[in-house]
Structure 1
Amino acid sequence: MRPLEDLTTPVRAWLHRFAFLLLVGGAFALMLVGKADGILVERARTTVVDAVAPILDAASRPVATVADVLREGRELAVLRAQNAALRKENARLKHWQLVARRLEAENAALAQLLDMAPEPQTDYVTGRVIADSGGAFVRSVLINAGTNHGIAKGQAALTGEGLAGRVAEVGRTSGRVLLITDINSRIPVVIESTRQRGILAGDNSDRPKLVYLPEEAEVAVGQRIVTSGHGGVFPPGLPVGEIVKAGEHGVRVRPFADWNRMEYLRVVDYGMPGILMTREDDYSARIAAATGAPR
């Protein structure tokens, strides 16, 4: 055994010393073979891959299994957290449901006691936003619903968050909604917490102005703005936005409606034409009232 080790020691030393050069030479030789006979190299590579593929597949299965287990564990933890949050939210919503039912019963009893006139029946049509003005001087969108669907000029257009605008033009199958940020938009509103009245005036920016407030008005950032119901345009209480700036340069309001994600609008008929009734409509209404004919 000892003489054999003495013979192999110089060979091992020589291999350690010239291993890098041997690898470079082998790689260079493979490149030359690949250039000379590409089909042969491709067949050899395919053969090697076919031989190694079952081994790699067998080795990858435990790794994939462990990865699936870890992913399911993370998803289970997330689901548990979401479940706990949903339980809390459900309990909170049940509480507010009980409060709402009690207030509804009290409101009905008081309305009956005062012989109060009931609120008018509301109808609505949901339309998809198919185009917007995209101009610098107009803030409006086009929806795929018109007179054939029951939409009329002056009706309120709402998103899930709040008031978006009103119907300014209407055709048979389409309607144009003037947004509350347009320079031609003027909406009577109140500050929800203080009940102080004002006008929300659009100026083609994303933050319309709150004007014509009383001098003693208490304005603070974060206050909610809702419709006041004056002018017969919109009913009171529709959410509009919240104050984001109040100072010497005026009061600015951030609307609840998100224009960048506006895909559908609900056009609601509150039966309040108000100041939006045109002269032709007013003339037709007077003629119908005088002759007893339907409008």
Structure 2
Amino acid sequence: MRDTRESRLLLVLLVTIALALITVDIRGGEQSPLDGARRGAATAFGPIEDGVATVVDPVGNAIEAVRDSGDRHSRLSELERENAELRQRLGSDDRNRARAAELDKLLKTAGAGQYGIKGAQVIAIGAAQGLNWTVTIDAGSRDGLKRDMTVLNGDGLVGRVTTVGPTTATVLLANDPDFTVGTRLEKTNELGFATGQGERPLEVQLLNGKAKVRAGDRMVTFGSAAGRPFVAGVPIGKVVRVEANRGDLTRTVYVQPFASFTRLDIVGVVVQSPRTDPRDMVLPPKPEPTPTPTVTVTVTPPAPGQEGADGQQADPGADPGLDPNADPNADPNAAAAAEDDGN
């Protein structure tokens, strides 16, 4: 259609009529004069709308699903994050409880030996200055630590401080081959020297080759002058094997350490030695051996008149000197004569 003045006037007229009809319909409400025409149009065009909706609904649903999938993905991510936080919090609580138990055990050990300690945490493991069995702790010179101080935990001897920095320190563990400490055997006071052997038990050379020692006996540190590098009385371990050396001049004893060097966390550095040697006081009490139950069998002798050992009825009037199996008609004088002939 060409754009003429008449066509533009027609368009304006149609728009004006449409606006007038809309106004009349809105003002009329339910009583609108156009209600009948609207119902007729709905009747005529309703099936067409349903068909179009049937065709278009999958597309609309897909669009809505895509929109909702983003919301679900965000919600899923949020739930996963909350779950991770809960697990981390739960794991943190378990770790805190374990560390609290270790600290409590350490304080009890230090209290039994009257050691003044500085608590620290193991923050690294590995070689320092070419050493194989070392750990790094988060305490240093600012905390009062110095070289050649004893390090222990709630179980017993851990090692000694070798290098000190402002905020960290290196500890040489007791199982390192370069580690040596004086030992004293529980109760007998037999002295020796323990040397680390890595993952194997400590090797202890007793000075007395004839000392009585057996598996299960326990050892503590002998101590050094002024408590450095070792304070006295720190539990070392228990004997697991004893070997006699050539000539019996010395004896080699193998000791399993109380401390586990692969599971170190909370440790204490002894910054103040005890006033007196605690001897064996730091060692925990030995468990009482379980008594072996004994079985006692009591035999009640038969009462008079009851069955004897051969199951026969005993005669209360019988002479105990007579043979119960003898012939009652036999002549006792004949039996006596036979005995005389045999002599």
With normalisation by structure 1, the TM-score equals: 0.48
Q: Pick the structure with more helix per residue.
A: 1
Q: Tell me which structure has the larger Cα radius of gyration.
A: 2
